[in-house]
Amino acid sequence: MRCSLGVGTAIALLAAQIGAGPASAQAATEAPRFDKHGTNNAITDVPGILVGQVTRNDPPFLTGVTAVYAPDGAVGGAIVPGGWPGSINVEVLQPGKNDQESHVMFLTGGSYFGLGSFSGIMRWLEEHGVGMNVGTDPLHVDPLVSGAVVFDLLRGGDFKARPDADFGYQAMENAKSGPVEQGNVGAGTGTRSGGKSLPLKGGIGTASVELDNGIIVGAITAVNAVGTPVDFSDCSLRAVDLAIGDEFGAYKSPSREECDAALEKAKIDAETGKPHANTTIGVLATNAKLDKEQVKQLAEAVSRGHGRAIDPIHLISDGDSYFTLATGEVTADDAQIQQIYAAAENAFARAIVHATLKATSVGEFVSYCDTFPSACGAQ
């Protein structure tokens, strides 16, 4: 969740990335290609998945909450490969634990304080009778809600301007299907990427993959990484090559002049910049029928997608955490399950690209498109 790279480490990281070349910016093996995304190119393309977001960007706030809601319940999974996470109800999602269905997985700003939004989500679910019934009354429910945090404290001003229970409750009130707002919204409101080497505004991003067999895979992420989505060989975005159709609009690699200027500034930032607290968290959903071991493997695929789009990941001071949901609408055979894993990797990487392109500058946090205007057309 936090990171404080020393100056020497930051310079070495920057130099290694600049000298790596385009080949090392991609996975060693070529990822499968996909040619179709859902109607909204969002996690809500998965039937039965809703997203609710709360955004506070009025001073002194710059934070928010993003909730992914499965009203009919789903098999849930999670992995937490980052070394400094802030999360809740991860253990019960592991194979071998109770098979209670999940109803909400949330992403929140506010670091550990942001976990206060959990109680508001629980209150909303109780009021609506959603969850495992444990008594004689329909409202005697005990919902399973899991989530993780990003560190965005002090980015809006007041240290206490952070999500609480009311944020969580309002996120559930806002939950809906259809298009999902991206960029400086929800848990991505106060995020950034790049640490002290080429810092950029982060945000919320989402994407989906539609397979021929009727299975849909969708991802949503809050990007707040110490690593960078930028390939320092040419300042292009690392996972933009995974695009389905023209989803990234008129995007192209930035001019050499803009790239050189940004890299020169990045060297100065590595010497003088402030430490950057970081984490990339997200939720991946599918309408396939999967068991608890398989949804954990799905989260492992999300991790691979993260690595396609950002480098480095999973540092000891990262809080990288991923949650997965399988609604069980469509039965999948072994070959199809392998397709689902590949689609999860693809969707999560593309969601990171969308988060980066949709983000807009806020104060000292400059967006990718403002840093490299030649790269960005209509998004």
Q: What is the DSSP string of 243-275?
A: --TTTTTT--PPPHHHHHHHHHHHHHHHHHPPP
pLDDT for the residue numbered 186: 98
> Residue ranges of the chain with pLDDT lower than 50?
1-29, 378-379
According to DSSP, the residues that pair with 322 across neighbouring strands are 79, 282
- pLDDT value for 18: 38
Whole-number pLDDT of residue 26: 39
Beta bridge partners of 326: 75, 286
The whole-number pLDDT of residue 33 equals: 82
Helix residue ranges per DSSP H, 3-145: 7-24, 117-127
Separation of alpha carbons 65 and 187, rounded Å: 4
Helix (H, G, I), strand (E, B) or coil at 73: strand
Radius of gyration of the chain (CA): 19
In 163-213, which ranges are continuous DSSP H helix? 165-173
Q: Is 72 helix (H, G, I), strand (E, B) or coil?
A: strand
- Tokens representing 305 are 């997608």
d(CA 203, CA 221): 8
Encode 230-247: b = buried (16+ Cβ within 10 Å), e = exposed. bbbbebbbbbbebbbeeb
Structure tokens at 290: 């999967």
Residues 6+ apart with CB under 8 A from 232: 14, 17, 18, 20, 198, 263
At residue 5, the pLDDT reads: 35
The predicted pLDDT at position 183 comes to 98
Q: How many residues does the chain have?
A: 379
pLDDT at 198 (0 to 100)? 87
Strands 102-108 and 63-79: antiparallel
Query: Against a cut of 0.85, is the pTM above it?
Result: yes
Which tokens is 56 given? 């506070």
